[in-house]
Amino acid sequence: MLRRTFLSSLAASTLLPGLRQAGAQNLPYGLLPGKPHEGTTLNILSVVTPQFNGLKLRDDEFTRLTGINTEWTFIPFGNL
């Protein structure tokens, strides 16, 4: 019985990862297939600093990959 359990465990551990990879799509950044959040809009409140300008430059790619739109509002740090 122990031998049978060992062999079935070995077979399962060998075959399952290959089956998962065969059915999965190779999407970048670990995205979910089918754009499940398409049409959603994120309202982002950010301070005026260059680091957030860099993120804003990637909006088009983010929307293309996820279907999620972004709306940025920049405010001075003191007002935040």
**How many domains does the chain contain in total?**
1
The pLDDT tens digits of the residues spanning 19-48 come to 455 445 688 888 889 999 999 999 999 888
Query: How far, in Å, CA of 52 to CA of 46, rounded?
Result: 7
Q: Is the pTM of this model over 0.85?
A: no
Check residue 24 and give its pLDDT: 54
Domain holding 21, by residue range, is 2-79
Q: How many CA atoms lie within 13 A of 46 on its CB side?
A: 17
